[in-house]
Amino acid sequence: MACCGGQGQVSLNGISGQREWRPLIYRKCTDVLWLVLFFLFWAGLMFITGYAITAGAAERLVFGYDSFGNICGKKNIHVEGAPLSGQDMTNKKHVFFLNSCSLEMKNLTINSVALCVSSCPQEQLNSLEDVQLFAKNNVVSSVLWWLYCDYINDPSIELETEKENVKFLLGFSIISTMITIILLSLILALRKRIQPTVQLFRIANKTISSIPSLLFQPLWTFLILIFFWVFWVAVLLSLGTAGSARVILGGQVEYTSLSGIRYMWWYHLVGLIWTSEFILTCQQMTIAGAVVTCYFNRNKSSPPRHQILSSISVLFCYHQGTVVKGSFLITIARIPRIIFMYLYDALKEKESACARCMFKCCFCCFWCLQRCLRYFNQHVYLATAINGTNFCTSAKDALFILAKNSANIAFIDCFGDFIIFLGKVFVVCFTVFGGLMAFNYHREFHVWVVPLLLVALFAYLVAHSFLSVFEVVMDALFFCFVIDMETNDGSPEKPYFMDQELLSFVTHSTKLAEGGNKRNQKTTGNSEDGTELQPMVRREQRRRDETIE
């Protein structure tokens, strides 16, 4: 290990030494300035956290407070100018609104006098005289009870619910049928091209089998994200209650936000996006490092031990700055989307269709930019894991590799993503079908729409979390293969790192791409070589033949 700015040797088996596949012996820290910037940013977040804890009063949201500044269930401090403040409300833990029938929110305040009480007002009618007195003063109550009984016994209410369920099932059946027809048509049209992609999944499965802890990475990432989000929400609530007490008419107390709180909210929001992206990027970098270590190993029958731990140690000792820089670029692309979404909602009720359309287009453009940056950053992290270079150098190398082999990479990515999408659809459909069967045999559940939508959403998130590991592994394997083909020629002096299964897969896929190029050349009347990118296997074979000659 080495501190930031230092150098150290890293080998595949975890001991010091020179990698067989690395052109450089030493690995050093990359993008240290960005790591320092991230630490300074988090120092600002810690300042906001401390300020929110000292100036905020999150217990006002948890326990509630009355109109005179007293927190229910607590011993309070006296507010100057409010004679009813500073009372001991330890035994009064409930908030009671005197005008509870007309509660409405206006400017984040409730227009009703609130009091802290030990229990909600209750009155028991214990004698016939009390009942008669109640009947005289509340004749309409009998009518209300009759209407309530009539509503409960009305079968049309349940019938309407059943109709809504039938409509939902009909819509679900129509959508499922359309998706099934489209997917079957695509599978039938691309049946010859799907087979090599399935073979790539087998190769990815072999890699994951050698590193089974890869499947647990989404779980650990999810737990870390949940912990950070809980912390972020707690600070946000404390920050939202940071305000000064102001006495208004009648001795009541009103809390006003302090100056500068709005800027702290925006800073806190940027911290949410940047840190979340940093955690997700660390997962990508960890998987990339483990796959790279597994690929560039001469002894395939004996893979290196503790590859995940080794990848994590390399990440946190050398390449945190690169991860910070990549996650910051994603943050820069996401913040304008949030601003445009806020402006779009603000103009939704106004008659400005042109402005709404413009904001919607900008929102979509930044969404596309974010997706492109995610895809590009993934290959940048792979280049960093292989070469140990900083973000800009890795971006240049990754861009060169992607541009040189764009046809093959696009072929693999498209069909790989299609197979992964099929897996997600299968998981969601199977889960929703199981939910339908469960609700069908439990007739006490009347409304099916919302629970089934929640089940479908949860199933998609789980499927996406675990299948994304396959996606990252496949991209990493193919990227390593391209590097292998660029730096080695298969000779005894420079043998390939890949196994025969991966080599046969890429050979078969390039034959398909070559056949498609030939068909395009016949239709356009171009020459044999044309302007198309040549398949990488054929290009490497030509280079070896020229060397022999």
- What pLDDT digit, counting tens, does each position of 459-506 carry? 888 888 888 888 888 888 888 887 877 777 777 777 777 777 666 766
* Counts for the chain of helices (H) and strands (E), in that order: 16, 8
Structure tokens, 82: 């409010």
The phi, psi pair for 228, rounded to 5°, reads -65, -40
> Are 366 and 337 within 8 A, CB to CB?
yes
- What pLDDT digit, counting tens, does each position of 119-148 carry? 776 665 566 666 566 665 555 555 555 555
Q: How far is 400 from 408, CA to CA, in rounded Å?
A: 14
More reliable by pLDDT, 112 or 154? 112
Structure tokens, 57: 């009063």
Indicate the helix (H) or strand (E) that contains 258.
none
Question: Of all residues in the chain, what percent carry a pLDDT higher than 90?
Answer: 11
Q: How far is 317 from 9, CA to CA, in rounded Å?
A: 12
Q: How far is 423 from 470, CA to CA, in rounded Å?
A: 11
Q: CA 211 → CA 215, 234, 456, distances in Å? A: 8, 37, 30
pLDDT computed for residue 143 by the predictor: 56
pLDDT computed for residue 142 by the predictor: 57
Helix, strand, coil share of the chain (percent; to 5): 70, 5, 25
Q: How far is 284 from 479, CA to CA, in rounded Å?
A: 14
Lowest pLDDT segment from 4-18, 281-295, 355-369: 4-18
Indicate the helix (H) or strand (E) that contains 114.
strand 114-117
pTM over 0.95, yes/no: no
> Are 28 and 318 within 8 A, CB to CB?
yes
The phi, psi pair for 106, rounded to 5°, reads -145, 115
Query: CA-based angle 526:531:532, to the nearest 5?
Result: 100
Closest CA to 389 of 325, 308, 312, 461: 325
**Sign of the C-alpha dihedral computed for residues 486, 490, 492 and 496 taken in this order:** positive
> Are 469 and 218 within 8 A, CB to CB?
yes
pLDDT computed for residue 355 by the predictor: 73
Name, of 85-94, 127-136, 418-427, 495-504, the range with top average pLDDT: 418-427
On average, the pLDDT of the chain sits at 74
pLDDT computed for residue 530 by the predictor: 35
Q: Is the pLDDT of residue 192 over 60?
A: yes
pLDDT computed for residue 502 by the predictor: 67
Closest CA to 331 of 393, 272, 384: 272
pLDDT computed for residue 159 by the predictor: 55
pLDDT computed for residue 58 by the predictor: 72
Q: Is the pLDDT of residue 334 over 60?
A: yes
Structure tokens, 27: 């690995």
What are the sequence ranges of the domains in the chain?
Answer: 31-55+161-405+466-487
> Are 307 and 294 within 8 A, CB to CB?
yes
pLDDT computed for residue 21 by the predictor: 42
- What pLDDT digit, counting tens, does each position of 285-295 carry? 999 888 888 88
Lowest pLDDT segment from 328-332, 413-417, 443-447: 443-447
Q: How far is 530 from 521, CA to CA, in rounded Å?
A: 7
- What pLDDT digit, counting tens, does each position of 504-535 carry? 766 665 565 555 555 555 544 444 343 333 34
